[in-house]
Structure 1
């Protein structure tokens, strides 16, 4: 009984004295006290809560997908650049991305703005490039993909595949001619390896041919899924030499006679990326535009090894974007009178997402350290691509799940990540092909056909 009277005393203490005096003019306080005395504990607690008014808003933790603080490994200079890229993506890309994704169009106006960031070919030395490290190059890819995987793919094709092919396989004259302009985005690049009937079998099955003539090289065949190709100025085309059967690389300009591109329509993923079907019909390329250091598929593979590591980073960015958007949503969305983030099953999904994301982040950080130390192997890059693209699939799926029906609406962003993760899972080598590369390395047996 004493405890109850203490609660009643607290109840009246919660009311401002001036308000209590005003209340006495309207109601019989003795009657109110008698009524309050007869309330049970639950009713009394509810009355006290109402009289006390709304409690101070709970201060929630900052949303940050870098749970283990991997970004603390970056230098102050690199972290400043990371934040600049993040601010650019959130200011320039985030407000427009859903509209362009829905329309299946590329926002060409962002290209000069990308140029101003000065991040193309970040890890290349010379030719106007920053000469930075692979770790920071990966961080940049992740920051771009954290907002949109399509824009990250556009950047990766231009800066990684196209510029990388010239950087690794071009002559000094070709590097001087092309890389500075590409670094400034004055010349846009694409990379043509995959064909309509040849994807995973590119190493030994390219049907696009190159024939040496007195005037140069004549290319015939088709390339499919070539990102940026509908608007690129040059496309690196990989074709099999009819004379020796080896794969060679060519810088093909958009104005070359016999070069035609048709946009691929009806995609459900990476819709902002402008993928093309390229048809080469007696396309003449001068010897000066043949990549002088690309004389077999082993040279092509050097480019793919480098960019495959970048795709693993891109998967991390895609997963992080989905996780952070989903976490933010669950803290705002209320059901049964409180945020769904307070429910056990939702928290379990979020923790599983964060666990996978953190494992991916630690893996790619180490991957880039190996790359900067000159120790990166095909199997290292392939393992990262396998694990990160697989775990990204799981993360975006759970992100969609905790958002319920809203998870399939573009305005909540996760639907876009959910779709784009499917493309990341397949390009730069499928999960199966990359698994066999790792399997060969650890067993000593090749399971390739």
Structure 2
């Protein structure tokens, strides 16, 4: 196998990849090759069409890159470290944030919800096929009228009826839902007013998912408006270890750091494009890279990338040690996505007019950054989580 050094990132100015073991570096390089060879050729056309290229599902299945974080499922060995899975998310977003989001929804939100919230029988029944990506998962939490206030404002209901549950309500912005085989749906039990989780299988009567059209960000992700009308779910498909919204928050705490890694990948992808363009594009008789103002933009991009990478490296170490808290992932998500917004704007600026043409790719990174900035908790909500932790005072209303 070609050494990782031969494919190292120009953005890795402090050699953060050296923190991985040799075996982990092989997996990261495998991810890099997969994204370059299988995903990159499909990205621009798929983004313009606003549709997910379904052929990627079988390619992911063959790649062996799914389910690495879950020991005992699929054909994988010990669970991968948070550092490795974080860098994999980064590597995917470096090529395309939409495909990274598809992977994160399935491999992170949906699988972790079942792994964390399901009992052993449910894990054994559902996760092996998901780890092989024989089936695709989705995660339905956000609602049309409730986003940041979903903990208190959830309108989707669950009512026990014998050995089944009846779900009614609506969800919005649900990635993968238009083609997912298993959708983890969160609903409020009308009897005890507590949030519970349910695995709704493809084709269940009363479940519909309509793709949200005319998006300007993450266009390859098929987000959906989901409607649940008297959807019957057997008790065996209720996540047995979920008893309140605290369990949902635990899942989001674990996956929020993955969004920060995605933001880092978007920064790196935009920066690399800008650096290459500045080195090749000539104005006034020399490359753009030879002008002071262009170098200033590139160095500011690199500074944001490097500081964010250092933060996420330590966050992954806290996760692997089992000592990280809500405020740790919230600070990373809020800070890194804000730095991402700056980098994609500076990178696009270097391209001038060409920066708004899809053929040059940087426009895609610029647009996709807006969705990453908002989902898995807005900057404001994550800021209040951190603010409460450092002051001891809750500023939530």
Question: One fold, TM greater than 0.5?
Answer: yes
Superposition deviation, residue 288 in structure 1: 0.3
Would you say the 8 A contact 2:46–2:52 is kept in 1?
yes
Q: Deviations over 1:206-256 (max 9, x none)?
A: 000000111410000000000000000010000000001000000001211
1:88 corresponds to which residue? 34
1:224 corresponds to which residue? 172
1:191 counterpart (139, 145, 155): 139
Superposition deviation, residue 350 in structure 1: 0.2
> Based on CA coordinates, which of the two structures has the bigger radius of gyration?
1
TM-score scaled by structure 2? 0.96
Superposition deviation, residue 117 in structure 1: 2.2
TM-score scaled by structure 1? 0.85
Following TM superposition, the consecutive aligned residue runs of length 4 or more in structure 1 with deviations greater than 6 angstroms are none
1:69 counterpart (2, 10, 15): 15
Would you say the 8 A contact 1:322–1:414 is kept in 2?
yes
2:24 counterpart (75, 78, 85): 78
Q: Deviations over 1:21-43 (max 9, x none)?
A: xxxxxxxxxxxxxxxxxxxxxxx
2:49 corresponds to which residue? 103
Would you say the 8 A contact 1:63–1:327 is kept in 2?
no
1:383 corresponds to which residue? 331
SS in 2 for 1:105: coil
SS in 2 for 1:96: helix
With a CA cutoff of 8 Å and minimum separation of 6, indicate the structure with the bigger relative contact order: 2
1:252 corresponds to which residue? 200
Structure-2 separation of matches of 1:118 and 1:296: 34
In the alignment, structure 1 residue 142 sits paired with structure 2 residue 90: yes
1:280 corresponds to which residue? 228
Structure-2 separation of matches of 1:429 and 1:121: 24
1:432 counterpart (369, 380, 395): 380
SS in 2 for 1:94: helix
Query: Considering only aligned residues, what root-mean-square deviation do their CA atoms show, in Å?
Result: 0.9
Structure-1 separation of matches of 2:345 and 2:43: 20
What pairs up with 1:5-404 in 2 under 5 angstroms? 64-128=10-74, 129-130=76-77, 131-404=79-352
Structure-1 separation of matches of 2:54 and 2:221: 11
Superposition deviation, residue 121 in structure 1: 2.4
Would you say the 8 A contact 2:31–2:65 is kept in 1?
no
SS in 1 for 2:41: coil
* Unmatched segments (≥5 aa) in structure 1: 1-61
Would you say the 8 A contact 2:340–2:369 is kept in 1?
yes
Q: Deviations over 1:371-411 (max 9, x none)?
A: 00001110000000001110000000000001101111111
Q: Deviations over 1:282-303 (max 9, x none)?
A: 1000000000011100000111
Structure-1 separation of matches of 2:103 and 2:9: 26
Would you say the 8 A contact 2:67–2:132 is kept in 1?
no
* Unmatched segments (≥5 aa) in structure 2: 1-7
